[in-house]
Amino acid sequence: MKVYGAIVDNETRCTHYHTEKDIIAIKFKCCNRYYPCYKCHEEDADHTIERWPQDQFDELAILCGSCQTELSIHAYMHKDNCPHCKATFNERCAAHYPIYFE
């Protein structure tokens, strides 16, 4: 799966967010491209971010950087770790949900 932006390793960490737990990428609704974060999208894309509407939260739009499994938005929002490989996600990412999701 191709991930765009300022990536620093093979688990989708970027120059903006690169702690041990920063291992997800988000498929942006506006361009159908995976980015590690909104800052990477802003630097790379030539358009504004379009948020995922709630009625599309079953879409596969989250990529676990540890095992490359795609998760639905619902599955991601209700888990602290990947249901496939059990890698722990950064719980502080929830603060950015309003940027990505309605």
Are 44 and 88 spatial neighbours (Cβ–Cβ below 8 Å)?
no
User: Does 72 reside within a domain?
Assistant: yes
Residue ranges of the chain with per-residue pLDDT less than 50: none
Name the DSSP letter for residue 26: E
pLDDT at 72: 98
Produce one character per residue of 9-42: b if its CB has 16 or more CB atoms within 10 Å, e if not.
eebbbbebbbeebbbbbbbbbebebbbbbbbbbe
Share of the chain above pLDDT 70, in %: 100
pLDDT at 92: 95
pLDDT at 49: 98
pLDDT at 9: 96
User: Does 83 reside within a domain?
Assistant: yes
pLDDT at 87: 98
User: Does 15 reside within a domain?
Assistant: no
Range of the domain at 80: 24-100
